[in-house]
Amino acid sequence: MNEAYIRLVNIKKHFGRVRVIERVNCDIREGEFIVILGPSGCGKSTLLRIIAGLEKATEGDILIGGKVMNQVEPKDRNIAMVFQNYALYPHMTVWKNMAYGLKVRGTPRAEIEDRVKKASDILGLDGLMDRSPRQLSGGQRQRVAMGRAIVREPVAFLFDEPLSNLDAKLRVQMRLEIKKLHQTVRTTSIYVTHDQVEAMTLADRLIVMNDGNFDHVDTPMEVYEKPATLFVAGFIGSPAMNIIPMELHPEGNAVKMPGGTSLTLPSYPSNARDREVLVGMRPEHIAVTQGSGQNVFQIRVEFIEALGADTLVHGLLDRERRVTVRLPGDLRVAEGDLINLRIGPEKIHLFDPQTGHRLN
């Protein structure tokens, strides 16, 4: 088995009576870029620290290259971690920050210089090597932190929300830097974030974590198109998916809308007939239509968010149920208007109100 292969087996982490991680399992392939996405407090950073050896799992095993790492010290796991706060030595130059870890391991001087030069070329740090961290911008400091990880030539990189301290424009730039870095070095990477844009754009596979559990593990587009749970459906996508309680028709091939209209379904589970379900519709999958017919419904516009290229329209199906729609920015709609909308049957998601699991 390749040494860059990482396996999580029945990992649990409890702090006293507080259960942070509940029996998670995952195989991470060599060279894969895995992103763990979830809200604050879901256990994602704790899991990353367990992989790194900075925390001990309450139960379960961490395997790297087929070897159990539970009792192996962090320095001996051959893993490099990039932190949110950069963790650079303030009294050292960029060159010394990048070289220090190799120096303390007794790496020959010529090899240190060669590795640091290669990393600086990859990250565009030439011209900054004699500066101290206080003379660098936030993005430059983050590149130095990544460079320090690269020179170790580890079996895996662990990223703990590395872009959280950067402004919006710099985050976009650094996302591209990290993507390019992975395409260049092809090192197994595990990246933790609460930002769904980072997750969708960086991940080969995406893990959506909720309350210490893995709710969905798949490619980003599969998670977006077929969310496994109600939590995943609401967490992935901006604006969030519309979730509306509706009744299934007795034959189970449609759901009843307010006002007597209905939405036809492309498929349905036989055990979901004659009961209430939660219907999910993404705002970007709903379009304005001039006519009536299959899968057409009506809302009264409550308020509008003009975003330039797009317009978010928030409207009422009835007194209680609201729908958000993403429409083209040049489409003129006013508050109080009644507009007809249509959604394709294949874009409708069904969830069980009790379990939150996907039905179709």
pLDDT in tens, 165-182: 888 888 888 898 889 889
Give me the CATH topology for the region 6-234.
Answer: Rossmann fold (3.40.50)
Q: Which of 77-86, 235-244, 341-350 is predicted with the least confidence, judged by mean pLDDT?
A: 77-86
Tell me the CATH architecture of domain 244-351.
Beta Barrel (2.40)
Give pLDDT tens digits for 282-320.
999 999 998 777 888 999 999 999 999 999 999 998 878
pLDDT in tens, 148-168: 999 988 999 999 998 888 888
Domain boundaries defined on the chain? 6-234, 244-351
With cut-offs at 50, 70 and 90, classify the pLDDT of residue 248.
confident
- Residue % of the chain over a pLDDT of 70: 96
pLDDT tens by residue, 87-140: 899 999 999 999 998 998 899 999 999 999 999 988 888 889 999 999 998 888
Tokens of 73: 């010290």
Q: How confident is the model at residue 274 (pLDDT cuts 50, 70, 90)?
A: low
Task: Using the predicted structure, report yes or no on whether residue 210 has a pLDDT greater than 90.
Answer: yes
- Average pLDDT taken over every residue of the chain: 90
Over residues 224-247, the mean pLDDT reads 94
- What is the distance between the alpha carbons of residues 311 and 304, in angstroms, rounded to a whole number? 7
91-100, 203-212, 266-275 — which is least confidently predicted? 266-275
pLDDT at 2: 54
